[in-house]
Amino acid sequence: MTGRFTDELRSEADPQWQAQLNHPFVRGIADGSLPLDKFRFWVRQDYLFLIEYCRVFAFGSARARDFETLTKFADLLNATAHGEMELHRAYAAEFGIDVAELEAETSAPATRAYTDFLVRVAATGQFEELAAALLPCMWAFSDIGAALSKRETPKDARYARWIEMYSDPDFAGLAQWCRELVDRLARDAGVATREQMRSAFLASVECELAFWDMAWLGGGGQGSVRVAARRLRTPRSGGFGPSSREAASDSAKRRGRDSWGIEN
């Protein structure tokens, strides 16, 4: 295998990646125009997602094959639980939502589909699949944060803090570490295992886009959930339903949005 495996994955997922960067929800954060009810809904759903994401980090730590990787996954769990989730709790408090209410929230279909997939892969898949499935969330949010940080800071302090968190160099460093882990695991893996890693990565990217659609539509976005579900039904087979470009094109048409044309 020549070149970085993660570069290959990113290239294959480019339509969905660009759809996230240009998503109306992300654009609304960037210019401060996002309606607060949509942001409030995202905070509640993302908090539930992050609880399960922490569980996946715990699986990663438990299943790691060396102490360095074990401790890094523990660091990721700690950074998420006490950094990223603390920001969500602060947002919720501003909206008059306490922690008990956050944790009592019901997962929307896109949230449940994504977290069920991640936990299933973490518990029953190969360690290589676990790492590949985790990567899109960190990597895409880091890319989004970096892209938005180059624009004028929104006047709404809540959106400015959001951009500050996801554009933080420390956050980018965590995403970079996960990329390096996936590349290292792929170098030592056989063809079948790399295909399973590819499938897990692409399924997670599809779930990321479905999550943005859900947040934008206030719990809707069932078309995106169905696209993601087709991928999730066969996460180890490598042959999921529609092509990446078809899926991203369909999602863009549903949103009826103009593109910023942001490239990464």
Residue 104: inside a domain: yes
Stretch among 40-49, 174-183, 209-218, 219-228 having the lowest mean pLDDT: 219-228
Q: How far apart are CA 261 and CA 243, in angstroms?
A: 21
Q: How far apart are CA 197 and CA 47, in angstroms?
A: 26
Catalytic residue among 52, 128, 206, 208: 208
Q: Residue 125, class by beta-carbon neighbours within 10 Å (0-12 exposed, 13-18 middle, 19+ buried)?
A: buried
What CATH number should be reported for the domain holding residue 38? 1.20.910.10
Let me know if 137 is a catalytic residue: yes
Residue 219: inside a domain: yes
Residue 172: inside a domain: yes
pLDDT confidence of residue 15: 96
Residue 18 CB partners (closer than 8 Å, separation 6+): 248, 259, 262, 263
The mean pLDDT value for 197-206 works out to 97
Residue 264: inside a domain: no
pLDDT at 2 over 70: no
pLDDT confidence of residue 78: 92
Range of the domain at 149: 5-254
Residue 231: inside a domain: yes
The mean pLDDT value for 100-113 works out to 92
Residue 72: inside a domain: yes
Look up the pTM and report it: 0.84
Distances (CA, A) of 240 to 123, 144, 162, 176, 199: 21, 26, 33, 27, 8
- Token readout for 169 is 């160099």
- Token readout for 61 is 């730590």
| Model confidence pLDDT, tens digit, residues 158-172 | 999 999 999 999 999
Mean of the per-residue pLDDT values for the chain? 86
Let me know if 246 is a catalytic residue: no
Give the three-class secondary structure for 227. Answer: helix
pLDDT at 181 over 60: yes
Residue 259: inside a domain: no
* Sequential DSSP letters for 66-86: SHHHHHHHHHHHHHIIIIIHH
The mean pLDDT value for 32-50 works out to 94
Catalytic residue among 54, 137, 178, 207: 137
Taking each helix axis from N to C end, the angle separating 191-216 and 36-63, rounded to the nearest 10 degrees, works out to: 160
Counting Cα atoms < 13 Å in the Cβ hemisphere of 104 gives: 5
Residue 261: inside a domain: no
Instruction: Look at the chain and report how many structural domains it folds into.
Output: 1
| Model confidence pLDDT, tens digit, residues 121-136 | 999 999 999 999 999 9
